[in-house]
Each structure stands twice: as structure tokens, then as C-alpha cells.
Structure 1
Amino acid sequence: MTTTENHSVATKSWPDAPTSPEGWIARAGEVAQLLAVDAVARDKGRDLPAAEVQLLKDAGLVTLLGPVEHGGGGQDWPTAYQVIRTVAAADGSIGQLLGYHLLWFWAARLVGTPEQIEAVEADATKNKWFFGGAVNPRDNDVAVTDEGDTIVFDGAKSFSTGSRVSDVTVLEGALQDGQHVFAIVPSNIEGLTFHDDWDNIGLRQTESGSVTIDKVRVDWSSAAGFVDKAFAPRVYNTLNVPTIQLVFINFYLGIARGALEEAAAYTKTKTRAWLHSTVDSAVDEPYIIDIYGDLTSKLWAVEALADAVALEGNKIHSNAWNVTAEERGDHEVRVAALKARATEVSLEITSTVFEALGARATASKYGFDRFWRNVRTHTLHDPVAYKRREVGRWVLTGELPEPTWYS
């Protein structure tokens, strides 16, 4: 095993790919152990996470959802969410990168034709593509122009997670009639310029900076789900939102678990009992015991709900061509409820652990603040109040959320 000098993750040779969900989750645990070694140091810098992405490739995690016949893991979303959670516990940035990658890997299934799905998944799995996504639907900032046999994407996106470490990028833009178009292009294609301007307080290694899309031309055949320039919508096309919200939820919970586990390890070895206490050790301090009991109970409860909702969603994924609007809506309500609780619990855990650590634990060398910064940065993605609203409307009126880019 070797380690690079710029705080990149260690490398490792891996045995044959696991064949069971338990095996893949264990593999993710091994990856997490390697990521944890230099996680604090990497968080302080802005190094390109190329070695970390290569680790995900070498371990087989980037092809976790890929077809077995092409060398993929052949796993389902419940396993993928557990893998994301496990990786994020060690490094929230890499957990997010993996989660977004898996969503965009799955994008062909969400909106593509059967022929596109087969072709994309074969190529992505065989070549171990790492996906980025220049998709920010809130702003109509990329125009798509029909030029006969080709379409042209032109504009810019404020965020493009994965950018410079990706092999391929999912582009999104709108035709003149308002119809959105998705296409997968090589990340080094002419006209695609990633800007090294991601400088936020958390998730520092996610490569989520802006991108300029300058007349990127692709064949109409690359437009996901389009046949003869026409898109035939189906309910499953709208599963991108609950699926990626579950990705968010699971790396939030992974970050929270990482904070709790690292804090507990510190408390066992470094935290001191209060001088006016009647105990000699921090592990016997009543208020510290209460903090860990309270936070762990809350985390376990939300993790259990997350696992249950993942299984519910998997039934929809396995019936992609026949899912009904009601099934989709019921699932989105459950995801919304879970998103609200996961946001609250992850913010609470990553902040409250300091009360059990003591003042010395605020030293930057320990990096305990990175857990809160990572969660706080991403939980602002969309207002959690609107998630609670979806649940409240369903409870009071039976109204199901209308599919949007955020619901």
C-alpha cells in the first residue's frame, strides 16, 4: 500500500468483486477506512480528488449498479444507499461524489429508451465511467437548439458536481418549446469548460463548481428518451427526484454517523470528566452518557426509516415501465418525511457532539467541524419546509405531490 504526498487517499489492490449486498457494504467499509486516514487533511485543502475517485473505481463501487454481464455489481438501490452512507461516514465529499455518480449512472434508466439504456450501461460499466452532472433545473440557463441531425447545448450552469474528475457529464437544457433534454457527453468534449471556483464551507472536494457549455453538439440519438425528435413521457421519468433525495438523505446520515463515531472515540480517550463531577472518567459522566444515548437513538430511528423507504422505492424501480402516478406520489411523500427528519437529525448530531467532546476538541487538527460544515452546506439544496408541507398536505387532504424538479 502506498500513499501520495498531497494528502490523497491510499491505494489498494482488491480481490474479486463481492456477489452479495453484505459483501458490497463490507467493501465500502474498507474504502471508508482508507478515506478516513487523511480525511481531515484533505478537507483543509482543495486538491483534485482524482485519487479518491480512482479508489472508488478500483474497489468496484462506481459500477455497483451496473449489469453483471458487463462486469458490474448488479446491485439495487437499497444496497447502493447503504454503500453511500458507509463511504460518507469517512468523507462526506467522496460520499456525495459517489451518490451523484450513481444517480447519473442510473439516468439512462430513468429517461432513456430501452436501446439507450442497454448501450449506456454497457459502456459505462465496461469502461468504469465516473459521471458528473451539469444539471441545475431551477435556472433556464442552457438552451438546446435543433440543427437537423444534431442538437446544440449552449449556456452555463452554476454547479456541476464531479466536473474535473468525471469521465462523462450529463448535460441538461431546454428546447425552444420548453421541453428538457438530457444527454451524456465526454467530459473533455470541445466546448465544455469546468471552472475551478467551488470554494464553499463544506463538501470541499466535490468539484461542484460552475461550467460553461459553449455550443456542445451531439447527435439527436444521444437525447435521452427521444425517438424521431419526440419524447414519450412515463411516470418513471419523474423518479429522478425521490431517488436523488434518497441519495442526499443517505450521505447526510453517513456524515452524522461518522461524526458520532469519531466523537465517541475521542471521548473514550481524551475527554475529561468535569472537575465538579463525582466521577473520574468522561465515559461515566452522566450528561455525556445522556448525549450519546440521545443522539444514537435518534440516528438509529432515522436510519431504520431510510432503509424502509429504500425498500419501498425498490419496488417502483423493479416495475419501472408500469409504475403509476399514485405509487410515485405515495413514495415521494415518504421520501419527503424522511428528508425532513434526516436533515434535522444530521444537523443536530454534527453540532451537539461538541458538548460531549470538550473545548480541546475544537482544535483544527481534529477536524470535528467538517461534519457540520458538510451537512450544513448540502441541506440548503432545497428548503426542508417544503418537504414537511408535502407530508402535511397528504395528511390533511390526501393530496399527492405534483412531480417537479424538487418534489
Structure 2
Amino acid sequence: MSITSPVTTGLGNRWQDAAAPRDSEEWLDRAQEVADILAVDAVERDRANATPHAEVQLLKDSGLITLLGPVAHGGAGESWDTAYKVIRTVARGDGSIGQVLGYHYLWAWAARLVATEEQITAVEELYTANRFVFGGAVNPRDSDLVIREDGDELVFSGRKSFSTGGQISDLTVLEGVVEGTETHIFAIVPTDQDGIVFADDWDNLGQRLTESGSVEIRDVRVPWGSAAGFVDKVFQPLTYNTLNVPAIQLVFANFYLGIAQGALETASAYTRTTTRAWPYGGGDKQRATDEWYLREGYGDLASKLWADEALLDAVGAEISAVLHAPREELTARRRGEIAVRIAAGKLRIVDDGLEVATKVYELTGARASSNAVGLDIFWRNLRTHSLHDPIAYKKREVGGFVLLGEVPEPTWYT
């Protein structure tokens, strides 16, 4: 890792004496400042693959960690509409850190999704006042954690092969099933305890700084009173509880968009300063930026990302409205309609983003394939996380809605 890294050389809190942002536009400006810092050495830090403690401290210092937290406890009290755009902005500078931030927002909202009013108040005060970062040991493709009852306590045990946030989190969301039943329980626990053991085995093609490796949960004890949404050991269900999946799917789509935007910005800057015009095509150009095929190429890619941004902004406003509305108001139909539109936005940015991350090489030239340029980080990051769940199923959900008016049933992935 570069010893001159702006993230790791102890710059301190550059915002310590700065006024807090006052509205969503100022928070987006703050996010851009963070992205600019991260972008300087994103490639070097990616290759070093070190646990991103300094990067997470940057998110805390900037105030972005508590963007959704209550104002009464030092948070910004902002909307999910703003949070999605902040995720996207940070991901332009570093896709891994954009993902960490997005997952944190979802897990920080987990109490609102499923917990009682008293539990929501306690969790939001805890994480906001302390600027705590969330991770989650919830990967649904693995076996559920097993929960056994021991008097007034629940004891979680098991293993998850993915746990984004991992060692950089302060709080971890657990989810398991009470043995001998079909009762699922969420609980939020401190990460720093003997019963949570990270394997430090995340070494994938992309999104390398997300701390998404495996974790063992060894007899982690939780009071029954901390079982999210349970009253007298009985869960109180709402349709609102199922918004976790469309909310996180839109988190994905927004950091995908940020990664693709970062690729286009990086490539166009390289073309302006370094790419040479092609001298053998007739009507020779003096500058690469005068080449018709480069102008056409950048115009094609930019127009696709602008269209994707418009769709993600529109559906972001839709889900934000229901996330901030009274929980009892959401209907299954409205939830499904929003999920379909998020599926459409996700499938578009996956296709368009991968095209951008690949074609930028054609627009920058052979010299841009140098490892020193680092254009590969964008394709690696987007390709890695876009495999999270099959995009074909998102297309099927949209098709079922268009043809038959069907909305998807809530699952761990829809």
C-alpha cells in the first residue's frame, strides 16, 4: 500500500471543525469529498487487500455513517432517497467502501423493519450516538443459525460463508431459527466478543475491501427481550417487515451505478490526457478527443448510465416514501410493485455497467491496460457483486408483472 495514501496516513478528521451539512445536497457534497479521497489510491488499497479500518473511520468522521440516524442523537435524519445517492457517490471513488456503507444503512434500518418501537428507539440511539457500523451474519443461502432457548436467553450458533462488514463492524445482525420450530429471529449484538469468530478468508476477484468473508457464531447469547419484533415471545408481522430485500437490492443497484460512473469518469480523464489519435484512418485528428469513434463511444455509454440513473432515482424516491411512512400503511401489492421496478433498475445497470467497464478499454487504448492505470478495478468490482443472485430471475419478475400483472412473493431475494 502506498505510504502516501490519503486514507491511511493519519490525516485526522478533516471535518472536525466544519459545520455539519444542512440538507441532502450538502450531504451529497460531503459524500463526493469522501469519494475523491478514496479514489486517489483505490487501486493500491484494493491490491493490498488490508482490512479497511481507516476507510471506515473516514466514513465515521464524515458523518455519513449516521446519515439515517435520528437528529436527537447526533444523526442527520436524512431520507433513504438521499442515502441511495450517497452510496452511489462513494462507490464512484471506491466500490468496496460504497458497498460497506450501503450494507450498513440497511442493517442500521433493520430495527425499523422488524423491531418493536422500544427496540427501535434503543438501537437507533446506540448506533447513532456512538457512530457504530453494522455488519450482518445473515446470508440466506447458508443453513440458518440454530437458536436454542436457555431460560430468558437465546443462544445463537452456526456458520455463515459471507458476512459483509466483518471485522470492521461494531454491531452484527444475527438471524437464526429456534431449534425444533420454524421461528426466525433477528437480533443485534456487539461484534467484539469471543463468540463471533471471523475467518479472514475474503480474497475474491473484486470488492476486496468489503470484509465479506465467513464467520462462526459460537454460543452468542441474547436476551429474549432483544429478539427483534417479538412481544411475549410472539412475533408481530407486518408487510413492512419484508422491505429488507427490495431495499438492499436497490443498495446493490446504486453502488453498481457508482462503480460504472467511476469507470467512465476515469476512462474519459485518461482519454483527455493520454490517449492518442489514430494516425492511419484518413482525415487524421490532432487529438484523441476529436476522433469520431471515441466521441460516439463515450456518448453511447454515458447515455445508458444517465438513463439508468434516472430510473434508479425514480424508484429510490418510491421506496424511500414507504420506508419513511407509517409501517402499518404498506400493502403487499404496493410492496411488490416497488420490488419489480427495483428489479428492472438492477438488471439494467448490471448489463450497462458491465458494458461500460469493458468498453472503456476500447476508448482508452492499449496503453490503458497497464496495471498502473488500474481500469480493471471497476470491472472486477462490478462483475463480482453482480453475481449475488441470478439476473435472469430479475428479468422473470419484470416479465411476470408486464404480462400478467403479477408481483413477486417476498423471499430472501425478491
TM-score, with length taken from structure 2: 0.96
Residues 9, 35 of structure 1: 8 Å contact kept = no
Can you list the C-alpha shifts for 1:48-98, whole angstroms capped at 9, x where unaligned?
100000000000000000001110010001100110000000000100000
Partner of residue 245, structure 1: 249
Match of 1:44 in 2: 47
Which ranges of structure 1 fall in alignment gaps of 5 or more residues? Answer: none
1:128 aligns with 2:131: yes
Q: Deviations over 1:324-372 (max 9, x none)?
A: 1111011111111111101111111111111001111011011100000
Q: What's 2:195 paired with?
A: 191
2:98 equivalent in structure 1: 95
Name the SS for the 1:217 alignment partner.
strand
1:193 alignment partner, SS class: strand
Structure 1 stretch displaced more, 363-372 or 171-180: 171-180
Offset at residue 8 of structure 1 (A): 3.9
Offset, 1:6? 6.9
Partner of 1:71: 74
- Is residue 217 from structure 1 mapped to residue 218 from structure 2 by the alignment? no
* Equivalent AA in structure 2 for residue 78 of structure 1: D
Q: What root-mean-square deviation, in Å, do the aligned CA atoms of Structure 1 and Structure 2 show?
A: 1.2
Letter in 1 for 2:64: L
Aligned mates of 2:216, 2:22 — CA distance in 1: 41
- Which residue matches 2:290? 284
In structure 1, C-alpha distance between the alignment counterparts of 2:114 and 2:8, rounded to whole Å: 35
Are the aligned partners of 2:7 and 2:58 in contact in 1 as well (CA < 8 Å)?
A: no
Partners of 2:332 and 2:159 in 1: CA distance: 33
* Alpha-carbon offset, residue 166 of structure 1: 0.6
Alpha-carbon shift at residue 46 of structure 1 (Å): 1.4
Which among 255, 265, 268 is matched to residue 264 of structure 1? 268
How much has 1:279 moved relative to structure 2?
Answer: 1.0
In structure 1, the partner of 2:331 is 324
Whether 2:376 is the aligned partner of 1:369: answer: yes
Which position in structure 2 is the counterpart of 1:405?
412
Deviates more, 1:176-185 or 1:297-306: 176-185
Asked whether the 8 Å contact 2:142–2:161 carries over to 1, the reply is no
DSSP-derived class of the 2:278 partner: coil
Query: Residue 338 of structure 1 aligns with which residue?
Result: 345
Q: Can you list the C-alpha shifts for 1:251-298, whole angstroms capped at 9, x where unaligned?
A: 000000000000000000000111213212110111111110000000
Cα displacement (A) at 1:37: 1.3
Any conservation in 2 of the 1:66–1:75 contact (CA below 8 Å)?
Answer: yes
Give the distance between the partners of 1:218 and 1:128, measured in 2 at CA: 22
Residues 198/7 of structure 1: CA separation in 2 closer, same or farther (3 Å cut): farther
Give yes or no for the alignment of 1:348 onto 2:355.
yes
**Cα distance between partner residues in 2 of 1:9 and 1:276:** 46
Structure 2: 5+ residue runs without aligned partners? none
Q: Distance in 1 between matches of 2:205 and 2:149?
A: 40
Q: Is the 8 A contact 1:108 1:117 kept in 2?
A: yes
Q: Check whether the contact 2:107–2:134 (CA below 8 A) recurs between aligned residues.
A: yes
Distance (whole Å) between structure 2 residues aligned to residue 5 and residue 287 of structure 1: 38
Match of 2:117 among 96, 114, 118: 114
For the residues of structure 2 that align with 1:315 and 1:88, how far apart are their CA atoms?
A: 24
CA contact (8 A) 2:6 2:38 kept: no
1:26 Cα offset (Å) = 0.3
Q: Report 1:126-165 matches (<5 A).
A: 126-165=129-168
1:233 and 2:237 correspond: yes
Distance 1:106 1:150 in 2: 24
Per-residue deviation at 1:5? 5.7
Deviation at 1:175, TM superposition (A): 1.6
- Give the one of 375, 391, 402 matched to 2:398: 391
Partner of residue 182, structure 2: 178
* Partner SS, residue 171 of structure 1: strand
Report the counterpart of residue 300 of structure 2 in structure 1.
Answer: 294
CA distance in 2, matches of 1:85, 1:68: 23
Contact 1:273 1:281 in 2 (8 A): yes
Q: Percent identity?
A: 59
What's the secondary structure of 2:357's corresponding residue?
helix
Residues in 2 aligned to 1:251 and 1:318: alpha-carbon distance in whole angstroms = 22
Aligned pair count reads 405
- Tell me, in whole angstroms, the C-alpha distance in 2 between the residues paired with 1:305 and 1:8: 33
The corresponding residue for 1:382 is: 389
Counterparts of 1:377 and 1:207, CA distance in 2: 14
1:321 aligns to what SS in structure 2? helix
Q: How many angstroms apart in 1 are the aligned matches of 2:129 and 2:147?
A: 30
Q: Is the 8 A contact 1:85 1:253 kept in 2?
A: yes
Given that residues 152 and 217 in structure 1 are in contact (C-alpha distance below 8 angstroms), is that contact kept between their aligned partners in structure 2?
Answer: yes
Tell me the distance in 2 between the aligned counterparts of 1:358 and 1:195: 40
Q: Contact (CA 8 Å) 1:8, 1:49: kept in 2 or not?
A: no
Indicate which of 62, 65, 69 corresponds to 1:62. Answer: 65
